[in-house]
Amino acid sequence: MNTQRPQESTDDGSIVLPAGNQVPKVISEVNEWMKAAVSELIPVSNSRADSMDDTMLPQTLLAAVSNVTDTTVSFSVMVNETCTGYRFIQDADDQVPDIRSVMKKGTRMILMPRQEESIRIGGLTQDTTYRVHFVPMDRAGNVGKLETVSFITKLPIARENAVDTAWPETP
């Protein structure tokens, strides 16, 4: 496996591809280099013994919403160790799901330790109460506590420059 970094131009960081039929080889080398670079960032254990040593549950250090509008919200999360997180949003009138349901129905997020990750969630209905549920699972398969954050989407903002065409009422 060739894990040397592909040649890059100095002005814009783009990869310089050779002419002719060498392109597939270069693409293969880039893929191998990317795999090696990612494995350095997120080491994957190939040993069951390594994962058996980890018995600590991952912890959610932050689960919060911000920038709530009439149809969108930002959801932020931070964990204490490298995890796969699962987030699931639902109307607050729905039954609170269990951890297994959140992991099955939720959207996966790869999270690094102590790095806040924010996701913009759209397609919401105005003036509605929602809950975002989050659960982390570490590489050893330890599942953390279910966290839930509630919020209410806003009513649409009236346009300030709207023209009032109605006649004033007279008493």
Question: What mean pLDDT, rounded, does the chain reach?
Answer: 79
Selection from 58, 70, 82 nearest residue 143 by Cα:
58
On whether the pTM is more than 0.85, the answer is no
As its CATH architecture, domain 55-152 has Sandwich (2.60)
| CA–CA separation, 52 and 47 (whole Å) | 9
The pLDDT value recorded for residue 55 is: 85
CATH 2.60.40.10 domain position(s) in the chain: 55-152
Q: Which among 135, 71, 65 is positioned nearest to 97, based on CA atoms? A: 135
Least confident of 36-50, 112-126, 139-153: 36-50
More confident residue, 93 or 166: 93
Q: What residues contact residue 96 under an 8 Å CB cut-off, 6+ apart?
A: 131, 133, 148
- Cα separation, 66 vs 130, in Å, equals 13
The pLDDT score that the predictor gives to residue 50 is 52
